[in-house]
Amino acid sequence: MCAAGPPLPIARGQPFVFPDGKEERLSSSTPSTGYKGGLRDDRWHQRRVAMLWRRYPAWALPALISLFLVLLTWPATISTTASTTEDVVLAARADPPRKNDGFTDVVEWDNYTIFLHGQRTFLHSGEFHTFRLPVPDLWLDIFQKFVAAGLNAVSIYIHMGATNPAPGVLDFDDWRALKPIYDAAKLAGILIVLRPGPYINAETTAGGIAHWATSLVAGELRTNATDWTAAYEPYIGGIIEETRPHQVTAGGPVLAVQIDNEYSQSPIERAEYFANIEEQYRKGGIVVPLTYNDPGERKSFINGTGAVDIYGLDAYPQGFDCSNPTHWSPVTTNYHDYHSEVNPSQPWYMPEFQGGAFDPWGGPGYDACQVLTGPDFEDVFYKQNWASNVKLISYYMVYGGTSWGGFPFPGVYTSYDYGSAIRETRALTTKYDELKRQGLFLRSSPEFRKTDWIGNSTNGIPGVKLSNSDAFVTLLKNPDTGAGFYVARQTDSTSTSSVSFNITVPTSQGTLTLPQTTSAITLNGRQSKLIITDYTFGDKGSLLYTTASVFFAGKIGARDVLFLYGDSDQTHEAAIAFAGNGARAESETVQFATPSSEARGRTTVTILAGTTGLVTLWDSDAQLVLFADSETAATFWAPPIRSATPATVPGFEHFWQFGTNTTALVGGPHLVRNATLEDGGRVLALRGDLNASVRLTVFAPPGVSGVTWNGERVEELTAANDTADARGRGGFFTGRLSPRVSVKSVTVPKLTGWKFAEGLPEVKAGFDDSKWVTADHTTTNITDKPLFGDGRVLYGCDYGFCEGNVLWRGHFNASGSEKSVNLTINGGSDFAASVWINDHFIDTVYDGSDEVNSLFTFPEGSVKAGQDNVVTVLQDNMGNDEDSNEKSARGIRGFQLNSGNFTVWKVQGKIGGYLDFPDKVRGVLNEGGLFGEREGWHLPGFDLASSNFTVRKLSDGLPSGGAGVGFFVTTFDLDIPSGTDTLLSFVFDGGEGKTGEAYRALLFVNGWKFGKRVANVGPQAAFPVPAGILDLNGRNTVVVALWSLDNSAVSPELELVVDAVLDGGVGPIATNNPKWSSRSAV
């Protein structure tokens, strides 16, 4: 077995005084399983037992027998892993008493971390919303990328509005299904924190609450109101049924379930709402812990009514203004104190910590958000969380995706890229590199899972001195092993200047001033470092200290492996106890100091500035010690290799720590998705992605003699260090990987052959709206009531039309004195609304606000005296607000003719409304109320000839050259080579975010509304569309619904572009793009 390292001495209970007077603790709970990497190494246990026996022979036998009897009679459900002699030894040390939720002990916790199946676990997670990537076959792609970065969990919101589209209707089919999420997570080996709301925020319409509920529920949402309870309980019931078999207690990936989202515990009606949901979960069989995310330090739901099992804090210290992306806010310094004050008996949990930022309409775009929350931000702010002793954390977002259709709330546009580590296209970034550098360290370092906060530069740290007050240090220390973790940053965390310092620290070998061989430790501007003392790696590996960072620590084969890294413009130093017979690096930039008496056999290694690439510091039969610059380190991967042992937790065969500790180090590829041992362990089979020809470096278990990449044998493979000694160790290879020739020649067609049809017959003379819904309600449950009119309520959702474009037609019998109409129209921020009288265009209103009042003056000759006249309003619904205004008043809040009254108002949105919409696959949020949408023009297979489509270029705009709506349709074929991951986007107007042309456009790809373009607001011009929505080996239909806002001509352009081509990918991607079928349009 290739393990991450030796077991950690972790146990629990009451003090016990050994014969030599040292106070230790005996176990009072389950057998300790907080060992390095998770799976047990019996050889290490046996050595510890032998040491104990020799040191304390007088009492060891009775103690061992007593504890053996205790363990023998301990309930079998406490832990699924086998007990070993380690448990007896480790009983001598203390863990705080563990807690659980009273429904299962598979998940427990103390004040440090959670325990899963008895194993202490640092929860390292990222946010991903499957509804923002509605292609189930791609969910595994995201999960594999999370795991490859060292994450062990994913946080997932479920959208009530998509899953519960109408009262009494639950839809867990297609991309709304939960089981494919759970299955993909198990295959990837990643835990899930499920966050199903009902309210989720997430910059989504109504914060995820079903639109119908915002209209039909009279009581206050998110309280114990009877009708709100009746509205959400079936949805939560559906979540329970879909999730119960997939909890970690049953071998599934669901570790915890969050209650609602970011709320307050008062008034009591809100607390009772939480309590009601919690009771429903428990009665329904959800036994894993229930959690909560507090939006700031509000102390909600820790105690009292509605309190959860594990409390957490959400934090976004950089805010959401990406317009000045190099401006930083300082790090938050009171997190540790807050945790110590409010919930010190629970682990310190951050369910959401800033992983990017959303961008509003008219914003600078997500490239700027990438800068605002870039790798330097991750380096400083994430490690500040470490310094606060946070042991459960999730970054929001790690993959943002696309807010397609009607998912956005008014504050955001279609892209939900979020400036994340993984871009909307699914491309990896330099942020991903930093996330991986941190993630693999955390995965490799069980000693870091249990640390006490000792002090910092403000409060003082016993025995620690800093030479420069411009540097700031926090010390965390493992109470069992003595490993010290000094989180260093600049005192002014926003500073872009460099500082240097020395630090004096206590170690197991006495007090040392670091560095020992060079002048100082350097922190570049906006940089953080982790200086480590008395750290163990592998079975026997001993690191006295390091000013370089740890990338990986563990075992590969029989060797203890340590992989250090650091910036190439800085000098680094480490004191390591080299073991075995081997060779040191021969490099002008690496120096080795002769072991001193103080170092007691440890060699001080100095890596000078200018060191680049991979350097083998020590290579022996017992150890491998590597160093690389930060960029080179980021090209390495440590994929878990499935290798079941008697300690493997059933159902967790693919999970690091619970299923396997076997791994290899693989350098060079763009991504390593997974690795397996084949042919009796002689072949390391790698799967992943290439974006260029690269040098392959592999450190594998010693039995490996060959490597395959995506099923093909790597032919040009060379055994590195080809000496007799090195050949005996085996598993070290170099080679070359190159993308296939076909990948380099991927092309896509130009979008030509457009066909056009007028898309606004509602403003033409004689249009029949008799089948439309009559808008005659005089009451509403929506929060903001009508402002003026005759008492009729003109809110779209009250008539079943809650998303997308909605059309209103107000009829009046003209006397001839009608000159204008005063309208107040509400569509959410940055909406637009165009108004006609009969077939005469009046004006379009849009000013960035969510509501506009305007007097629309009728053009001369437009009113027909003595006849029925119609005021037509085409409005854009930008989605419902979040928080307290989920019941948003989208529609006409006020209407008044200057003379006379409207006789009847008619309203039409998407066909069928939320009760009977025809497209069940794409779902309730896909379509709006434009005539072409109601007819199905946007769907593949629609017969264009049946609706008088004619040839017209998209760039020619509308034939009238004025205000109106038109539908442009074309098809194209793709033939993308198999075995590639080709990232594609549709790009308007050459990528210019804000052109000034007054148009809005809806982009439909194979029937899916995957873009809303607002050319005079911006910033989005490029719209990524994934495989599965696009048919990469077939015919595709693209439709642009063009809305020209005024009487100036517009000339939009659209092209399909290749963002990247990767040789590899996650595998075949199924499409699910239902074609047009007859519908009863109105």
pLDDT of residue 731: 80
User: For residues 103 and 994, is the Cβ–Cβ distance under 8 A?
Assistant: no
Would residue 882 show up in a list of annotated catalytic residues for this protein? no
| Residue 1013 Cα distances to 100, 511, 938, 1053, angstroms | 50, 63, 16, 12
* Global confidence as pTM: 0.92
User: For residues 199 and 222, is the Cβ–Cβ distance under 8 A?
Assistant: yes
* Cα–Cα distance for residue pair 889/195, rounded to 1 Å: 27
Reported as a pLDDT band with limits 50, 70 and 90, residue 794 is: very high
Structure tokens belonging to residue 704 = 């490996």
Flag the least confident range among 157-161, 310-314, 537-541, 714-718.
Answer: 714-718
User: For residues 664 and 707, is the Cβ–Cβ distance under 8 A?
Assistant: no
pLDDT of residue 27: 30
517-532 CB burial, b ≥16 within 10 A, e <16: ebebbbbbebbbbbbb
Q: Is the pLDDT of residue 57 over 70?
A: no
Q: What is the pLDDT of residues 432-491, one digit of tens each?
A: 999 999 999 999 999 999 999 999 999 999 999 999 999 999 999 999 999 999 999 999
pLDDT of residue 42: 37
* Cα–Cα distance for residue pair 65/88, rounded to 1 Å: 9
Q: What is the pLDDT of residues 969-1008, one digit of tens each?
A: 999 999 999 999 999 999 999 999 999 999 999 999 999 9
Provide, rounded to the nearest whole percent, the portion of the chain with pLDDT above 70: 90
Determine which one of 352, 762, 803, 818 is catalytic: 352
Closest CA to 614 of 553, 556, 545, 568: 568
pLDDT of residue 68: 40
Mean pLDDT confidence for 607-625: 96
Structure tokens belonging to residue 250 = 């049953």
Residue 459: how many other CB atoms lie within 10 Å = 11
Three-state SS letters, 835-854: EEECCEEEEEECCCCCEEEE
User: For residues 1045 and 1001, is the Cβ–Cβ distance under 8 A?
Assistant: no
Closest CA to 606 of 622, 617, 596, 597: 617
Q: Is the pLDDT of residue 496 over 80?
A: yes
Q: Is the pLDDT of residue 877 over 50?
A: yes
pLDDT of residue 69: 36
User: For residues 505 and 512, is the Cβ–Cβ distance under 8 A?
Assistant: yes
Determine which one of 203, 262, 762, 935 is catalytic: 262
User: For residues 422 and 1026, is the Cβ–Cβ distance under 8 A?
Assistant: no
pLDDT of residue 84: 28
Q: Is the pLDDT of residue 287 over 50?
A: yes
Q: Is the pLDDT of residue 29 over 90?
A: no
pLDDT of residue 25: 30
Residue 741: how many other CB atoms lie within 10 Å = 8
Residue 962: how many other CB atoms lie within 10 Å = 15
pLDDT of residue 599: 54
Q: Is the pLDDT of residue 17 over 50?
A: no
Mean pLDDT confidence for 725-739: 77
Q: What is the pLDDT of residues 539-591, one digit of tens each?
A: 999 999 999 999 999 999 999 999 999 999 999 999 999 999 999 988 999 99
Alpha helices in 584-637 (DSSP H): 630-633
Residue 57: how many other CB atoms lie within 10 Å = 10
Average pLDDT over the chain reads 91
Q: Is the pLDDT of residue 281 over 90?
A: yes
Q: What is the pLDDT of residues 911-943, one digit of tens each?
A: 999 999 999 999 999 999 999 999 999 999 999
Reported as a pLDDT band with limits 50, 70 and 90, residue 6 is: very low
Q: Is 298 exposed, middle or buried (0-12, 13-18, 19+ CB in 10 A)?
A: middle
pLDDT of residue 596: 56
pLDDT of residue 624: 96
Alpha helices in 203-267 (DSSP H): 211-216, 226-243
Provide, rounded to the nearest whole percent, the portion of the chain with pLDDT above 90: 87
Reported as a pLDDT band with limits 50, 70 and 90, residue 744 is: confident
* Cα–Cα distance for residue pair 327/947, rounded to 1 Å: 54
Would residue 631 show up in a list of annotated catalytic residues for this protein? no
β strands within 429-509, DSSP E? 452-456, 465-466, 471-477, 484-490, 499-501, 503-507
Reported as a pLDDT band with limits 50, 70 and 90, residue 35 is: very low
β strands within 679-737, DSSP E? 683-689, 694-699, 706-709, 712-713, 718-719, 732-737
DSSP 366-378: HHHHHHHTSHHHI
